[in-house]
Structure 1
Amino acid sequence: MARQSKIDVLEATRLTRLGRLEEAMAVLRGDSVAPHDRAGPSDAAGGKAPVVDLVPPSAQTGSAWTPPLSTPAEPAAPRNDKSPFSGSWIEGLLDLVRHRTPEDGRDDRVGGGATPAVVPGEARFEERSFSNEAGRRNYKLYVPGSFDGQPLPLVVMLHGCTQSPDDFAAGTRMNALAEEHTFLVAYPAQSHDANASRCWNWFNAGDQRRDRGEPSLIAGITRQIMDDFPVDPDRVFAAGLSAGGATAAIMGATYPDLYRAIGVHSGLACGAARDMPSAFSAMRQGGASTGGASPRIEGRMVPTIVFHGDGDTTVHPLNGAQVVAQAVAQANARENLRTTTLSGQAPGGISYTRQVQCDDAGRSVLEHWVLHGAGHAWSGGSASGSYTEPRGPDASREMVRFFLQHDRP
């Protein structure tokens, strides 16, 4: 059955690249489709057992993932009217390989067509760029109006597929928090030439290594800002959503000396996939064991905060737990972490379970927020941006709180 699943993934990838999206989706669903048009023997007739996802932890099941008594209907992921995403993992992954014709000059505009963010008072939202041997990426940098030359924290925000810096800034409201707490915010923009849907290429083995590919570009942007502004090197952080969340995990794994802490929203662990077929598998049912896939880490564990909806049908919620597990595996064996599990409900109505692991000083070094009933969207975000769930706890504010407590070794 595993061999058949791999064949189905490869066939779906082939059909998608040919632009035959309906046929690709039918293959992935297990529907009956026309025989393959490529040379070779046809598949043998016979039904396939349905794929059964595990039920996430709940008050009834405790901390365990359990098989359902019956296969439930797949819940739809919350989305606002401006969201370009489908509620299914199939549509989300098709964005990785879907062929689209680039618009003239599209990569020259960091906003990607989104409504420009409102910039209050003396604040600035600058368009900048960085290039190295791996290529060139534009980015936007928010400088709060309260900046007067003092050393500042820096938060690097990595958007999801089809998003832009302006869209991501609007949806996360991170610029408003930058005004409140006085820090810089950078929004690297994925190039349309690098990925047709502007996804960060988290699933490529070549984009999971230090000083190579996209990690070198994001680290280069970070260091360029640190050269141009008085950034406190002990207060540099990275966070992202979906493909951007997976890339934030990669940045924490490959540059633990640069990023003091990371935030991963609806993302995947570093090394969860190494190519397109394994990306299909990781997004649908969780990544493969990442113990040997991620780079060898020396030194301290990078504190990590994770948000993931247990109704996410684009990136399986098991991936959030795997991000935390990878961070634990990177922890120094001498580190004694105390675990507390809390539950609550946001004012908008989304309930959550929050697992916190603290060090000897009482600081939380690992946090895993499971958002009950939420889909593939930024929790507590604004409807003025795409891909947000306004009813959930404020992920942006919680990430900033988590980051700023880790301002010194």
Structure 2
Amino acid sequence: MPDPAPTRRVTTRLRRLATTALAAVLALTAAPVAPAKAASGSYFYGTYTSLAGTRDYHGYVPSTYRAGTPMPLLVALHGCTENDVGFDLLTGLSALAERRGFLVVFPDQSILANPAQCWNWPLSTNQHRGWGEPSIIAGITNLMRSRYTVDAKRIYATGVSAGGVMSVIMGVTYPDLYAAVATVAGCEYECDLLQLRSPDQAGLDAWREMGSRARPVPVLIFQGTADLVVPPSTAGRIAGQWAQTDDLAIDGVDDGDVTATPSLVERGQVAGGRTYTHKVHRSTGGTVMIEQYLIDGAGHVYPGGCSCSLYGDPSGPDASNLSWDFFLAHPRS
């Protein structure tokens, strides 16, 4: 089929080339002083097409990558009114990938699919394996696996806002692909905006969606207490959903292997920045399955994000580093 908007696509490609180059400069200048080889990583970009649709993406390969040696992969999903490059700048994930040694890819939502560039998580077709946007994101993930030597046990997904909702969906629909997920200002599976359905029911639905691939998926949650877009109570709903899903995924029985009641609650503060409450949920076997960071006074923002972005909150805990610490502790078994 002829391209319905060739001029738009050429313009988009030029914009992406320019913004990716800008991202490279800012990421490297934002990184701490490091040996010369730390600047020799490389950015890439491309377009993925399947029966479900077409999406652009860009990513970063750190200088420590060696073909044949497996390296972890992070899939990072932007929020509404953002794009992949903006999310990279906001989170600093390419610079972090260089410092800590992992591959990262940023799928980009098309304005043709959503004018505000939101991932279309409310649509039922985007809540199931093999359909819609989850299949596209999984397809981009598997494309990275075909092009680079990826550690299959250390593939992770993270996202903010609409991307945070999608990261939860990816953990539910592809538990055999993603070892663990993180969500910033996101929502539980089959997000109930009116909060009329219990998190336990959402957890049961998520477990059923996993089907024969069901496994307990560790989840990290960030939420601001002054968020006017996502009710702060949503963090507890995400934790409740995953507690039920992981409980059932362990042995198929709703028997309290993981609960919505945290086993540890502690207070913390960023030096010169925000205070927060950190909650940890462990399985009866002692494994950390869910962590929450509830950040006092934070709005609909990315904690620790760059002040160069409207959605950055440098005074919050460093969500990017905390997420990678969490991911490293949770390879897929």
TM-score bin, normalised by smaller chain:
0.7 to 0.9
Query: In 2, Cα distance between the equivalents of 1:407 and 1:296?
Result: 22
User: How has the CA–CA distance of structure 1 residues 134 and 108 changed in structure 2, closer, same or farther, with 3 Å as cutoff?
Assistant: farther
Q: Secondary structure of the residue that 2:110 maps to in structure 1? A: coil
User: How has the CA–CA distance of structure 1 residues 148 and 129 changed in structure 2, closer, same or farther, with 3 Å as cutoff?
Assistant: same
Matched residue, 2:303? 379
Overall identity of the aligned pairs, in %: 35
Query: In 2, Cα distance between the equivalents of 1:110 and 1:125?
Result: 15
Name the aligned partner's letter for residue 289 of structure 1.
S
Could you tell me the TM-score, scaled by structure 2's length? 0.83
Does residue 225 of structure 1 match 2:144?
A: yes
Query: In 1, Cα distance between the equivalents of 2:232 and 2:238?
Result: 10
For each residue in 1:222-251, what CA deviation from the matched residue of structure 2 results, as whole angstroms up to 9, or x when unmatched?
A: 011011111011000000000000010110
Query: In 1, Cα distance between the equivalents of 2:197 and 2:62?
Result: 41
Matched residue, 1:148? 66
Aligned residues: 297
Q: What are structure 1's unaligned runs of at least 5 residues?
A: 1-102, 274-281
Cα distance, 1:363 vs. partner?
A: 4.1
Matched residue, 1:116? 23
Could you tell me the TM-score, scaled by structure 1's length? 0.68
Q: What are structure 2's unaligned runs of at least 5 residues?
A: 1-6, 29-38
Report if aligned partners of 2:23, 2:88 keep a CA contact under 8 Å in 1: no
User: How has the CA–CA distance of structure 1 residues 235 and 389 changed in structure 2, closer, same or farther, with 3 Å as cutoff?
Assistant: same
1:209 to 108, 125, 128: 128
Cα distance, 1:297 vs. partner?
A: 2.7
Equivalence map 1:8-407=2 (5 Å): 104-105=8-9, 107-108=12-13, 111=16, 114=19, 115-118=22-25, 120=28, 121-149=39-67, 150-273=69-192, 282=193, 286=195, 288-289=197-198, 291=201, 294=206, 295-298=208-211, 299-331=214-246, 332=250, 333=253, 336-337=257-258, 339-359=263-283, 362-407=286-331
User: How has the CA–CA distance of structure 1 residues 315 and 111 changed in structure 2, closer, same or farther, with 3 Å as cutoff?
Assistant: farther
Cα distance, 1:166 vs. partner?
A: 1.5
Query: In 2, Cα distance between the equivalents of 1:113 and 1:321?
Result: 40
User: What root-mean-square deviation, in Å, do the aligned CA atoms of Structure 1 and Structure 2 show?
Assistant: 2.2
Query: In 2, Cα distance between the equivalents of 1:355 and 1:146?
Result: 34
Cα distance, 1:173 vs. partner?
A: 1.0
Matched residue, 1:72? none
User: How has the CA–CA distance of structure 1 residues 343 and 161 changed in structure 2, closer, same or farther, with 3 Å as cutoff?
Assistant: same
Larger deviation: 145-154 or 307-316? 145-154
Report if aligned partners of 1:286, 1:316 keep a CA contact under 8 Å in 2: no
Report if aligned partners of 1:235, 1:260 keep a CA contact under 8 Å in 2: yes
Query: In 1, Cα distance between the equivalents of 2:183 and 2:94?
Result: 18
User: How has the CA–CA distance of structure 1 residues 219 and 387 changed in structure 2, closer, same or farther, with 3 Å as cutoff?
Assistant: same
Query: In 2, Cα distance between the equivalents of 1:259 and 1:401?
Result: 16
User: How has the CA–CA distance of structure 1 residues 357 and 112 changed in structure 2, closer, same or farther, with 3 Å as cutoff?
Assistant: farther
Cα distance, 1:146 vs. partner?
A: 1.3
Query: In 2, Cα distance between the equivalents of 1:183 and 1:116?
Result: 17
Larger Rg: 1
Query: In 2, Cα distance between the equivalents of 1:408 and 1:213?
Result: 25
Report if aligned partners of 1:348, 1:392 keep a CA contact under 8 Å in 2: no
Name the aligned partner's letter for residue 184 of structure 2.
H
Cα distance, 1:288 vs. partner?
A: 3.8
Report if aligned partners of 1:110, 1:138 keep a CA contact under 8 Å in 2: no
Larger deviation: 322-331 or 182-191? 322-331
Matched residue, 1:74? none
Report if aligned partners of 2:59, 2:94 keep a CA contact under 8 Å in 1: no
User: How has the CA–CA distance of structure 1 residues 301 and 382 changed in structure 2, closer, same or farther, with 3 Å as cutoff?
Assistant: same
Q: Secondary structure of the residue that 1:297 maps to in structure 2? A: helix
For each residue in 1:281-305, what CA deviation from the matched residue of structure 2 results, as whole angstroms up to 9, or x when unmatched?
A: x1xx547435255453342121000
Name the aligned partner's letter for residue 130 of structure 1.
Y
